[in-house]
Each structure stands twice: as structure tokens, then as C-alpha cells.
Chain A
Amino acid sequence: MTTLTKEAGAPVPADEGAFLSVRDLHVTFKTEDGPVRAVNGLSFDLQRGKTLGIVGESGSGKSVTNLTILGLHNPMFTTIEGDIVLDGKELTTARESELEKLRGNKVAMIFQDPLTALSPYYTVGRQIAEPYRKHTGASKQAAWDRAVEMLGKVGIPNPKARAKDYPHQFSGGMRQRAMIAMSLVCNPDLLIADEPTTALDVTVQAQILDLLKDLQREFGTAIIFITHDLGVISDMADDIMVMYAGNAVERGTVDEVLRSPQHPYTWGLLNSMPRIDSDLSAPLAPIPGAPPSLLNPPSGCRFHPRCTFAERVGGARCVTERPLLGPDRASACHLTAEQKRTIFVEEIKPRLG
């Protein structure tokens, strides 16, 4: 087990030009049943002004990775190994006070459910003004004016009056707008959006995505966009990283991953997406099985118990040897490049319609 995880992180060299560079990240939670390896040798890079989409099932380590970047894990139960370098600064060993200066300032976060993610006890304006005051040292009045300005920018009508409202007086879409205003109030260089549209209905979803794209164009913010919705990600991201059981299994540009996916798990994800123009009588095709327990993950390739192509690799490689993910366009699978291409073109693509 240990030897396998060691070898998994090694192959990707650090990218000097990247704004955010994560190398061989391991996140382990201590639980009563034993250590849970939530993230296991993850590496990725993000350039300024670009959007990285992270896709995967619940429990694949998407959110954990991003909470770790901000140091928001509970240090009592969590051990972090590896490197997170933001703009040349190592974050895994940074002091709490340094991380505090970073959070909401250089790196901001948007959460999934804007109802529970905003405090019910303080006005929307105050909650937006708070980080601005803290990070810029602005006066109370200046911070409030800034909050009103931000509310206007994210498209809240009559921002001056609405800033005095409490979150429960806002609709779901407006709350998420307020959340975005809050995260962008200090002009962050990196915005981590953790399923920002999952709790919203579809029309509001589209508005929020447009808003994020507009704001990114205006401020040049890099975005990490976490989602399990491939439709949303094709709209938002430049690059995609597919995660499974605490690991990246495939990465590439949006076009590469969505048009010629290489990993059986990605095929499964694409396959299980319902299409509006598909035959109504055709059943949905979910990935068989369930995500593995990270308490006791499968040996070798973590996807092998659910993989329908494992026997084509030949031998027991999928069970014994963990496939590695190379740099740039890559997928962590023992199938040969030729096999991946032919299987996708001949067996998967026709089913996607």
C-alpha cells in the first residue's frame, strides 16, 4: 500500500509558471475505524486567469482537496503530506496567521448551498464588508460602500437597500450572487467554487455561470470549479481533471476530455448522463457498483472492481499495479493508448449518441 502511493505522485515535475501548483498531495483523516485516505498523491497545476474543472462522484476527494488549499481542514484529525504552492508560497507548512491573510483575500471560496453558507445572524452587507475591512483595513463606511458596490456588480437590484437585508430575505439565486460578491470583494487571484450551482434551479444556474464568467474576464481570476455536472463543466472550464477515490484519473483540456475521453471511469460518467434528445425508453446507464471505501481501498487500480474493461488489459495488472497519471493530457489506466482510442470510438461513442 505505502509503496504504491509513493510511486503514484512522482512523475509530474513542478511547473514553474503555474499560479497554483499541487504536488503529490495526501490528505488522511483519523477516524475511529482507522485512517481514511481522502486524497492520495494528487498533483495538478493552474495558470492565472484559467479555469480548472474538477469532476467526480461524491467522496472522490474534490472538496477535501480544496479545503486543504485554504487550510480549512481540522488539524486535529487530519494529516497533510505533499506540497501546495500558491504564487511561489508553500501553503502546507504556512502558519495559521499567514493563511488567514490569504483566505478571502488572495484565495476565495464559494460554497454549494448559499442558504447554509451565509450566516443567518448578520446582514448580507455586513458579511460582504467584513473580509474587505479585515484585508484592506478600510473604514466601516468604506467597507459598507464596497459591499453595496459588489452587490450591484453581481446583479442584485437596488443594492443599497438590499445590503441591509438578512440572507433569509434573499432568494436562492440572489444568495449565491451575494456569496459570489463576498468571495470577490478583495479581488482574489484564485476562486474556488465548490459546486456553486448544485443547489440552484436550472435557469438560475445559467445566470450564475454567466456571472462567474463575466467576473473572471473582468478581474482575471483563476477558478477551480468543482462539480459533478459534466454539462456545467463543458460550459465553464478550460481544463478538466477527473477524480476518483482520492486520485486524478484523467486530465486534459475540455475538448480532449469530453470529446475523446480515455479513462473507463470518464466513459462511465459520460454514459450515465441523461440526454434530452435520447430515446425515452432507453434506460440510463449508471456505472455499476459503488465508490470504494477509502478506509480500505481496492488494490492496484482503484477503479478495477467497477471497470468493465479490466480483463482487456491482460493478466492481473489492474488488481496488482496502480496505474500512474502522466503530465499534461493523460489518463491513469493500464489500457494501451490504441485500446483506449478504439474502445471509445467503437463501443462508447455510439452509445453517447
Chain B
Amino acid sequence: MLRFLLRRIAGSAVILLLLTVVAFLLFFGMPRDPALLMCGKTCTPDALANIHRTLGIDKSIPEQFWIFLSGLVMGRDDFAQGPCPAPCFGYSYHTNEAVWSTLLDRLPLTLSLALGATVAFLIVGLGTGMLAAWRRGTVIDKTFTAGSMVLSSMQIYFLGPLALALLVYQMDLFDEPKYTELTTNPVAWFTGLLIPWAVLSTIFAAQYTRMSRSAMIEQLQEEHVRTARAKGMSRRYVFFRYAWRGSLIPIITILGIDLGTLLGGAIITEYTFGLPGLGMLAVESVNFSDLPLLLGVMLFSAAMILLFNIVVDACYAFVDPRVRLS
């Protein structure tokens, strides 16, 4: 098991390296000169050459890549803004902040948003899905199935403003969503994120309802589930012990992908509610053509997705002993 995980981690590291190469070439190897962006309207050839030197883009591309890569691992101190400890993604063109510390600044919001929504949509999604499977064919099942169908075809940029208009502006039940550090004020943290959580998890929960329902129904038809019934175990026991266990496997797979994506930044949600998380950061970096920042956000998101893929593999082994031993 440990060897399997180590192999997966090594594999992910290789993927991340390849991704770095591609992203680096796309951004820094582009024919467009990033120095022009920084130079402003009154640009002279001298100033441009100066910026080239400061950015280090007067060197050859492989040389630049090597400097970038070693900066990621060991840090750099060749920046005018000051030393840049590992992992060094360089400094933002736009704000002159170190990219890594900007990422770390924005991470708590994205983390709060993603994990809070995940807890909510897992509880609601798996709960309703299992209830629908347990009461298959009844009114409850049909209601949940139809409801989840409608909700999962909704979009955040529709539900989000709708929730804001209704709950905040019309009925005045909540304040506008706002992020407060959990450590500063837990209550404000919770209430400020309530609507984004609700909107984000509504759409995800609907998908998990459908997934969990169909996975449960499939598992309930498994022969080993029938065997468990044939040896006198109660319907409830068989449902939760035998069928549920197997239904988790497809759900874990999708959850790994969803969590990785969410932690890379829920772009539309953050943008809809004006929450400055990693998703918003990605949008900003694109808007300002802030290449070091964009590269940083991209690699960070990719690392999250890869990380959660490994977590998913570990979870498989936890749920299914057949994976554990092979």
C-alpha cells in the first residue's frame, strides 16, 4: 500500500513537472514581450531593456526555465523586490507581491468555501440519494429524482444572483457574503459564507443525489447483498453495511475530482459573490496579464487536483480490501 502510494506521488510529481514545462513555455516563451506590459505608455528602449534584465527574460528560454524551476525548489534572491524563499513563483507584475504569499493569502477563503460546501453537499446529496434508493419507486424517490434533475441543470451564475436578490436584497435575511478569517470571528466566518455555501452545494448536492441513488440501487442488486439478506440480516443492516460500502466507490472517484477542482478555486462562485479567493485571483491574473501570478495559480490548482487523486486512491484502499492487497 505504501509503495503504491509512493509510486502515485512520484507519478504525480512527473505530471506536475511536465505541466510546469508546458505552462512556462506558453507564458514566457510566447512571442509577445511581457516587459511591454510593465513598461507603460512612455516606454523607451532603454527602460524596456532594463525591465528585460530585471525580469531575467534577456536570457535564453531553457536558462530561464532552469532558473524558474530551481527557484521553485530552492528559492531565489535575484529579484529587485527582495529575496524570494522556496517555493518561489517570482513576483507579480501587477502588485509586486510575491506570488506564493498571494496564493497563501487567498487560500483560506477558497479552503473554507470548498470544504464547507463539500460537507454540506455530501450530507445532503448522499442523504437524499440513499433515502430515494431506500424508498425506491415511492413519491419521495420521484420527488428527489425530479428535484435533483432540475437543480443539477442549474448554473451558479443563475442561482447565485437569485439567492442574493431574494435573501439579501428583498427579504434582508442575510448580509452580503463576505469573508472573515475563521480565527478572527467564527460566527462572521460562518454567516458570511452561508449563501455561497448554499448555492455551491445545492448544485453539487443534486449531482450527488443522483449518483448516490443509482449507485445504491445498483449495489442492492448485487448478489452478495442478496446473500446477506438470505442469511437473515435485516434490510437496514444490509443497506448500510453491504450496499452502502460498495456505492462509495464511484462517489469517491467523482468527489476526488470535484474537491481538487474546488480547491483550485471555484471561479464562478467566487466571482458571483465577490469573494477574493484563488478563483478570483485567477481571473485577476488573466485580466492584468500577470504572468507569474497566472502560472502560480495554475500550478497550484493542478497540484490540488493531483493531490486529491492520490487521496482518492488511498480512500479506495480503505473502502475496498481488494485494492489494498493487490
Contact = CB atoms under 8 A, between A and B. Distances in A.
A131 B233 contact: yes
Interface string B236-277: 000001100110000000000000000000000000000000
A109 to B, nearest CB: 4
Contacts of B241: 122
Given A116-B223, A118-B227, 15 more contacts: A96-B235, A104-B231, A104-B233, A105-B232, A108-B231, A111-B223, A117-B227, A119-B245, A121-B245, A122-B241, A130-B231, A131-B232, A134-B233, A166-B321, A166-B325
5 contacts: A108-B231, A111-B230, A119-B224, A135-B232, A182-B231
B234 interface: yes
Contact of B232 (A116, A119, A134, A169): A134
A317 B280 CA distance: 83
Nearest to A168: B322
B232 A117 contact: no
A96 to B, nearest CB: 7
A190 B254 CA distance: 45
A88 to B, nearest CB: 20
Contacts of B222: 116
B320 A120 contact: yes
B321 A121 contact: yes
Most chain B CB within 10 A, of A101, A105, A121, is at A121
A113 B223 contact: yes
A72 interface: yes
Given A103-B231, A108-B231, A116 B321 contact: no
A117 B231 contact: no
Contacts of B226: 72, 111, 117
Contacts of A120: 224, 246, 320-322
In order of increasing CB-CB distance, the 8 nearest A-B pairs are A104-B231, A104-B232, A103-B232, A131-B231, A119-B224, A116-B223, A109-B230, A166-B321
B224 A104 contact: no
B45 interface: no
Given A113-B223, A166-B322, A119 B231 contact: no
Contacts of B325: 166, 168-169
Given A100-B234, A104-B232, A76 B242 contact: no
A117 B230 CA distance: 11
Contacts of A105: 232
B94 interface: no
| Contact-size category for A | 20 to 34
A169 B229 CA distance: 23
B47 interface: no
Interface string A87-109: 00000000010001111110011
B231 to A, nearest CB: 3
A315 to B, nearest CB: 46
Contacts, number: 78
B40 interface: no
B18 interface: no
Interface in B78-112: none
A180 B322 CA distance: 22
| Contact-size category for B | 20 to 34
Contacts of A104: 230-233
A116 B233 contact: no
A119 B242 contact: yes
Most chain A CB within 10 A, of B137, B224, B226, B321, is at B224
A108 B227 contact: no
B14 to A, nearest CB: 31
A103 B227 contact: no
Most chain A CB within 10 A, of B137, B227, B235, B319, is at B227
Interface of B: 136-137, 222-235, 241-242, 245-246, 319-322, 325
B322 A72 contact: no
B213 to A, nearest CB: 16
A39 interface: no
Contacts of A183: 231
Contacts of A135: 232
B230 A108 contact: yes
Contacts of A130: 228, 231, 233
Contacts of B231: 103-104, 108-109, 130-131, 182-183
A290 B235 CA distance: 37
B218 to A, nearest CB: 13
A118 B232 contact: no
Nearest to A106: B232
Interface in A131-183: 131, 134-135, 166, 168-169, 179, 182-183
A70 interface: yes
Interface string A196-219: 000000000000000000000000
B321 A102 contact: no
Contacts of A168: 321-322, 325
Most chain A CB within 10 A, of B223, B226, B232, is at B232
Given A121-B242, A121-B245, A168-B322, A102 B224 contact: no
A182 B320 CA distance: 21
A111 to B, nearest CB: 6
B137 A76 contact: yes
Nearest to B226: A72
Nearest to A182: B231
B228 A119 contact: yes
B234 A117 contact: no
B230 A118 contact: no
